[in-house]
Amino acid sequence: MATQFFKKLRPSAALFSSPSRTKTTFAQYVASRARDPTFEKLMERYKNLLRVISIQDLILSSNSSPPAVSLDFISRLSQRIHLNRGAAVFLRRYPHIFHIFNHPDKLQPFCSLTPAALQIVRQESEAIEKTLPLSITRLVKILSMSLTKKLPLRAIFKVWKELGLPDDFEDSIISRNPEVFALEDGNEINTHYLVLKDSDEFRECLVPAVENSRMTECCREECSVDRTELQYSFKQGFPPGMRLGKNFKAKVKEWQRFPYIGPYEEMTAKENRRSKNGVMRMEKRAVGVVHEFLSLTVEKMVEVEKISHFRQWFGIELNVRDLFLDHPGMFYLSTKGKVHSVFLREAYMRGCLIEPNPVYEARRKLLGLVALGRRGLDRSWSVVENEEKRNV
CB 290 within 8 A of CB 312: no
- How many C-beta atoms lie closer than 10 Å to residue 91's C-beta? 21
Per-residue model confidence as pLDDT tens digits over 162-207:
999 999 999 999 999 999 999 999 877 778 999 999 878 888 899 9
Average predicted confidence (pLDDT) for the chain: 84
Q: What CA–CA distance (Å, rounded) separates 101 from 378?
A: 19
Burial label, 202 (beta-carbon count in 10 A; 0-12, 13-18, 19+): middle
Residues 6 or more apart whose Cβ sits within 8 Å of residue 75: 86, 87, 88
Provide the pLDDT for residue 202: 87
Q: What CA–CA distance (Å, rounded) separates 307 from 290?
A: 8
In single-letter form, the type of residue at position 109 comes to P
Q: What are phi and psi of 351, to 5 degrees?
A: 80, 10
Angle between helices 358-372 and 37-60 (to 10 degrees): 100
Provide the pLDDT for residue 191: 85
User: 33-36: long-range contacts at Cβ-Cβ below 8 A with a sequence spacing of 24 or more?
Assistant: 33/325, 33/328, 33/333, 34/238, 34/239, 34/241, 34/242, 34/328, 35/239, 36/239, 36/240, 36/332
Residues 6 or more apart whose Cβ sits within 8 Å of residue 127: 357, 358, 359, 361, 362
Handedness of CA 236, 321, 57, 108 (dihedral sign): negative
Is the confidence at residue 310, as pLDDT, over 90?
yes
Q: What CA–CA distance (Å, rounded) separates 167 from 56?
A: 14
Is the confidence at residue 238, as pLDDT, over 50?
yes
Instruction: Report the share of the chain in percent with pLDDT over 70.
Output: 83
3-state secondary structure (DSSP) of residue 128? helix
Residues 6 or more apart whose Cβ sits within 8 Å of residue 313: 146, 147, 148, 150, 151, 152, 155
Residues 6 or more apart whose Cβ sits within 8 Å of residue 139: 156, 163, 165, 169, 173, 181, 194
Per-residue model confidence as pLDDT tens digits over 124-166:
999 999 999 999 999 999 999 999 999 999 999 999 999 999 9
Q: Which of these ranges, 69-83, 215-229, 328-342, has the smallest mean pLDDT? A: 215-229
Provide the pLDDT for residue 234: 93
Is the confidence at residue 57, as pLDDT, over 70?
yes
Q: For the CA atoms of the chain, what is the radius of gyration? A: 23
Q: Which of these ranges, 257-261, 264-268, 327-331, has the smallest mean pLDDT? A: 264-268
Is the confidence at residue 337, as pLDDT, over 60?
yes
- CA end-to-end span of the chain, whole Å? 36
